[in-house]
Every structure is written in C-alpha cells, then in structure tokens.
C-alpha cells in the first residue's frame, strides 16, 4: 500500500570556521589599459566563488564588471585563502576583496593627485574615472590612468587581508568559545509517498528556503539550494558506505552499488527561495549557507515518514530495508 506523509524541519548551518583565525587575502591589480585583475586563492569548486568575488570587486571599485578578470589559479603568486570549506568564502573573502579595492583606489587617487597637482583627498574615484572634486573637468578615465601608470615608475596592486578575530580555543572545562562566524538558517517542507510493501520512498514535493544574509547572486543561491539535495537525499535514503557493518565485508566499489540521487530521484515539484536578514559580520550583510541545503531535507523526511507510517525512524540512511524493519517491529 502507498501511504502519503508531510513533514517539515528548521535547521542551521554555521558559516566560517569556529574559533575564528580563518584569514583570507586578496589582491587587485590595475592593468595598463585600465582594466583589473582580481587575484584570489579561493578555489572554485563549482559553488561560484570566482563569480561572486568578482561581483564584490566590481561594486567596491565602482567599475563595470566586464573590466574585471579573476585569477584564482596563480599558484605561488596567489594571495592566501584559508580554503573553500565551512561555507566560509562568502563571509570572509569579500572583506579581503573590499580592503584590496579600497587600497587600490587610494593608490590610484594618490597617483592621479600628483598628475592633477592637488591633494589626494581632493580626488574622487567614481564611475570608472578619477576626477578633481571641485573641478570635474580635470578627470582621467581608468584607461588613461592605466596607461599613465604603466608609463611611469609605478605599480598599482591593492591588497587586502581579513579575519573575524584571533583564534580562540574552547575552555577545557565548560567548552565556552564565543566565536562562531555567522549562522544561516533553513527550513524545509516536503510531501512524500512510501510503499509499505517495498519500503521505497518517493519525494513528491519539496520546498526549501534559506535565510542567507544577502543573496549575492540569486541564481547561484537557487542552484545551491537545489544542489544540496543530492547529498541530503542520498544520505537520508540511499547512501551507505558500509551497508552491513560490522558483520560483513561488503563495500560499494562502483556507482552501481552506491546510490547517489539521479534525475529521477529529484522531486517533481521543487520550490526554492531565499530570505535576507543582513548579517553584521558580512560585507553587505552576506554570509554563506550552501552546505546546509543538504541538511534540511533529512529531518523533514523522517517527520514525513512518521506522518505516513506512524513510526519514528531513528537511523539514516532510511533504506527500504530500514522502513520494512520498522514496520515489522511495529507489527
């Protein structure tokens, strides 16, 4: 018999390493034609770090985004980034980019002031130009600045480095340790159908919303919310490296033995959305969240299975075998 159930969950995901430390660096170089190279050590795993850091760089410099190229594969020449883990890049690295942009703008203003014969404070940097504050006729386009810098003994590389706070360890007695980065929040609602003969679960509808501080790139937020289902649905329902531990020696050796979700396992109805509560620690309120999209569906599945079957399942993955065992135990 097929039974339907609904369930919901609310979870968090901390972004940034606990205990702080956790530094990132960035550099932005002005090129001879007035365009820019953002150099970062942030690895792009597919989460989109190069894309969003370029968005931040364009905003902080106030220049067209097309004029910024990103180099994140500079090896020895790259500024250091702690790593693309702990959903930390969106929280930490934009600070380094922002500081690098401010540094570069100050250098360019100082150089331009000398050309204009004014004080650096009297030069503005806006709309991809530098100009004298009270004499806007005196201005240079970024292309003119780039060429001028190149033809003078000058190098314009803005640098920035940031971390939230010095590293702190847990108090050995109480575990106290107040430094957490930023926390993101997700909620999931889903409807499923479970076959009581076979134990097979079919997710019919899944809704997931994440509070992300600031949606830096809404398309990519949506991609991350949907993307996390692969690992979340797999962990909840089908993936187990040691399915018969400790009694047996069998381990999956091919993807035909280890079942990660396929097109067919994604729910037919799938809604994704973000909410925004600007986080005080983030640039423009931004923080990471993507890892958590794997988390939220799992307890919602357990709740929906209870709704459908009347039993609380307390182990994951909830394979068909687990469901049939739970139903058998209930009698």
**Chain residues 260-289 in contact with other proteins, contact rule CB under 8 A:** 260-264, 266, 268, 270-271, 273-281, 284-287
Q: Is 156 in the site for other proteins (CB under 8 A)?
A: no
d(Cα 237, Cα 318) in Å, to the nearest integer? 5
Nearer to other proteins, 127 or 197 (CB): 127
Query: Within 216-245, which residues bind other proteins (CB under 8 A)?
Result: 216-220, 222-223, 226-232, 234-235, 239-242, 245
Q: Is 302 in the site for other proteins (CB under 8 A)?
A: yes
Nearer to other proteins, 117 or 172 (CB): 172
Q: What sign has the CA pseudo-torsion 52, 55, 61, 63?
A: positive
**Site track 54-73 with other proteins (rule: CB under 8 A), x = hit:** xxx-xx--x-xx----x-xx
Q: What burial letters (b/e) apply to 122-150, b meaning 16+ CB within 10 Å?
A: bbbbeebbbbbeeeeebbbebbebbebbe
Segment interacting with other proteins (CB under 8 A) among 12-20, 109-117, 144-152, 153-161: 12-20
Q: Is 127 in the site for other proteins (CB under 8 A)?
A: yes
d(Cα 80, Cα 28) in Å, to the nearest integer? 14
Q: Is 165 in the site for other proteins (CB under 8 A)?
A: no
Segment interacting with other proteins (CB under 8 A) among 27-35, 104-112, 140-148, 246-254: 246-254
Nearer to other proteins, 73 or 119 (CB): 73
Cα separations in angstroms, 235 against 58, 142, 252, 326: 39, 51, 15, 18
CB of residue 143 to other proteins, shortest distance in Å: 18
Q: Is 12 in the site for other proteins (CB under 8 A)?
A: yes
CB of residue 331 to other proteins, shortest distance in Å: 20
Closest CA to 145 of 48, 61, 86: 61
d(Cα 53, Cα 34) in Å, to the nearest integer? 19
By CB under 8 A, the count of residues binding other proteins is 139
Residues classed as catalytic: 291
Mode of pairing for the β-strands spanning 24-30 and 157-162 = antiparallel
d(Cα 148, Cα 177) in Å, to the nearest integer? 51
Nearer to other proteins, 139 or 270 (CB): 270
Mode of pairing for the β-strands spanning 182-195 and 201-211 = antiparallel
């Amino acid at each position: 018999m097929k039974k339907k159930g609904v369930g919901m969950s609310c979870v968090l995901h901390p972004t940034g390493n606990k205990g702080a430390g956790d530094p990132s660096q960035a550099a932005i170089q002005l090129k001879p034609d007035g365009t820019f190279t953002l150099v970062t050590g942030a690895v792009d795993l597919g989460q989109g770090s190069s894309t969003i850091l370029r968005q931040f760089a364009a905003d902080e410099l106030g220049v067209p985004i097309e004029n910024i190229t990103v180099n994140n594969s500079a090896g020895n020449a790259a500024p250091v980034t702690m790593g693309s883990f702990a959903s930390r890049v969106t929280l930490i690295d934009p600070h380094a980019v922002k500081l690098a942009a401010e540094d570069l703008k100050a250098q360019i203003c100082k150089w331009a002031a000398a050309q204009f014969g004014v004080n650096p404070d009297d030069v503005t940097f806006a709309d991809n130009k530098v100009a004298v504050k009270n004499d806007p006729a005196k201005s240079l386009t970024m292309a003119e600045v780039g060429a001028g810098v190149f033809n003078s003994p000058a190098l314009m590389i803005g640098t920035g480095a940031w971390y939230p706070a010095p590293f702190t360890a847990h108090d050995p007695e109480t575990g106290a340790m107040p430094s957490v980065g930023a926390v993101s929040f997700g909620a999931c609602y889903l409807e499923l159908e479970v076959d009581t003969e076979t134990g097979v679960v079919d997710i019919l509808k899944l809704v997931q919303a994440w509070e992300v501080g600031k949606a830096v790139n809404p398309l990519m937020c949506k991609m991350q919310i949907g993307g996390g289902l692969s690992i979340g649905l797999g962990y909840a329902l089908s993936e187990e490296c040691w399915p018969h531990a400790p009694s047996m020696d069998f381990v999956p050796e091919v993807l035909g033995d280890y079942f990660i979700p396929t097109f067919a396992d994604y729910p037919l109805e799938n809604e994704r959305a973000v909410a925004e509560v600007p986080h005080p620690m983030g640039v423009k309120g931004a923080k990471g969240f993507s890892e958590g999209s794997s988390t939220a569906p799992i307890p919602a599945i357990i709740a929906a299975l209870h709704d459908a079957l009347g039993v609380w399942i307390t182990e994951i993955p909830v394979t068909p075998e687990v469901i049939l065992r739970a139903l058998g135990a209930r009698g």
